Copies of this chain bind each other. A is one copy, B any other.
Amino acid sequence: MTNTLQPVLNHLAARQPQIEAWLKTFLRIPSVSADPAYAASMDEARRFLCERLRAEGLQQVQLLDGGGEAAVYAEWTGAPGRPTVLIYGHYDVQPADPVALWRTPPFEPTQVGDRLYARGTSDVKGSTTIALEVVFAFLTTLRACPVNIKVFIEGEEETGSPSLRPLIDRYRDLLAADAVLSADGGRASATTPTINTGARGNAALEVKLRTASKDLHSGRYGGGVRNALHEMAALLASLHADDGSVAVDGFHAGAEPPTPRQRQDTAAFPYDEAAFFTDVAGASHGEPGYSPRERITLRPALDVNGMWGGYTGAGVKTIIPCEAQAKLTVRIVEGQDPAQVIHAVLAHLQARCPAGCELEVVALNPGSPAATLHPEHPLVTAAQAVLQVPGGARPIHVRLGASVPITSVFKEMLGIDTLMFGFNLPDEDVHAPNEFFRLSSISQGLKAWTALLDALGRFEPAAFHPR
């Protein structure tokens, strides 16, 4: 961090009460994207953001329409030759339901000690505010940012970003940048600095199996004919070995084994393994040779998400069901090709489907590969420098077991990598009643984002585009 940043940091420190007040105003707008009843509030949230962006001197402030809820866009391009960073956040929030379980009104931000309770405070108006305030502070104090800035604040994150792809396609030139800094995707730990360097990819399949043209009476056919539920159970059971590892030939093809550094980082991550499972009364179970945390972040997985067939009502119905269905999703890691994984599962099921049964396997989407930030990528180098505590251990690299659609979309459509740099923490009850955000995360976040923009400004734009 350089001395030139001091005015920015001083300004932010002095402004913290106003920053909190602005965030609270933002939180009072119930911008629930899932429910059309909140359409006016969605409008209001967009206006609220545009006004502030204009007031702070950003240019090209506008709404980007992809066919759904518009995104808010603004830019500052006064650093020619420096990298251009797309700052991603979202202004929409989850519904507050079940409202009865909230201890304070979901859209009236309520401060209790270090915690600010409100819907959307952790996910993700708090971290979005941090990112924007840092940009504003640079412009106010230094009249310049260390990097060119493109602000992109989405309104459909909580509904699965249905129009994100058409929107990016339409505004591809406007959104061109060297990297994405996401205010979404928070910290993994309050005590250990972490850098998120990747996420698993995924794919989804649906399986339908038929054994007859109609449900049969077990009094007439019982013991003499195939039962779709028996066959489906056998197929699904065959997907895993008893030890929990995936037993599908070719499923692991290409999967890069965890590097020694990844294993070290995973081991160093402060992770209460017992609590992780007992909190949900779940039983730890999975691929031998890997720790539980390695299994859920560094190894592929296959889960049956739904399975159904036959009679599911009250009492007894003595049928031999003719049809069974199941939904499957996979999580895949670096090196795996989603199409190949889908094919391996398909081939496994087809090979095991007995003669006389009709099997239909459909891929519900083309899948997405795992996302990875190379450990030497400027986003990682910069984040590491920013998060490194003097005299402390280096920040730990973590990977998400989940898939982060926006990072894949940005990579695929704009060819750029994303660093998730939100300051929310895992315990903040996002998507649940009594969501909160820590006020102390605001001051930490303001300092970190200031340093991060500064650090990124020291790279040449080309450095963000290795290979």
Contacts and interface: CB of A to CB of B under 8 A. Distances in A.
Contacts of A310: 304-307, 327
B281 A213 contact: yes
A25 to B, nearest CB: 31
Contacts of A402: 217-220
A200 to B, nearest CB: 7
A283 B355 contact: yes
B401 A212 contact: no
Contacts of A304: 227, 229-230, 233, 310, 321
Interface string A184-227: 00000000000000001010100000011110111111111111
A370 interface: no
Contact of A306 (B222, B240, B311, B357): B311
Contacts of A244: 226
Interface stretch (A134-142, A295-303, A412-420): A295-303
Contact of A219 (B295, B322, B400): B400
A1 to B, nearest CB: 34
Contacts of A280: 212-214, 216, 221, 225, 322
A235 to B, nearest CB: 8
A194 to B, nearest CB: 15
A211 to B, nearest CB: 6
A218 B303 contact: yes
A364 interface: yes
Given A237-B234, A307-B307, A331 B218 contact: yes
B403 A226 contact: no
Interface stretch (A50-58, A147-155, A284-292, A458-466): A284-292
For A287, A318, A403, the residue with the greatest tally of chain B CB atoms inside 10 Å of its CB is A318
B329 A299 contact: no
A301 B218 contact: yes
A180 interface: no
A78 interface: no
A112 to B, nearest CB: 25
Contacts of A318: 202, 204, 303, 305, 329
Contacts of A171: none
A34 interface: no
A203 to B, nearest CB: 9
Contacts of A295: 223-224
Nearest to A357: B283
A162 to B, nearest CB: 11
Contacts of A237: 230, 233-234, 236-238
A365 interface: yes
Nearest to A293: B224
A306 to B, nearest CB: 4
A361 interface: no
A233 B230 contact: no
A32 interface: no
A66 interface: no
Contacts of A236: 229-230, 233, 237
Nearest to A206: B316
A232 B236 CA distance: 9
A293 B225 CA distance: 11
A391 interface: no
A317 interface: yes
B296 A306 contact: no
Nearest to A280: B212
A222 to B, nearest CB: 4
Interface of A: 200, 202, 204, 211-214, 216-227, 229-230, 232-240, 244, 277, 280-287, 292-293, 295-296, 299-301, 303-313, 315-322, 324-327, 329, 331, 354-357, 364-365, 400-403
Closest 4 CB pairs of A and B: A219-B402, A283-B356, A223-B301, A233-B236
28 contacts: A212-B280, A218-B331, A219-B331, A220-B296, A221-B296, A223-B295, A223-B299, A223-B301, A224-B292, A224-B295, A225-B282, A226-B282, A229-B304, A229-B307, A230-B236, A230-B237, A232-B233, A233-B236, A237-B237, A283-B355, A305-B321, A306-B311, A306-B312, A306-B317, A308-B309, A316-B327, A316-B365, A318-B329
Given A204-B316, A216-B280, 9 more contacts: A220-B401, A222-B329, A225-B277, A225-B285, A226-B282, A229-B236, A232-B233, A232-B307, A304-B310
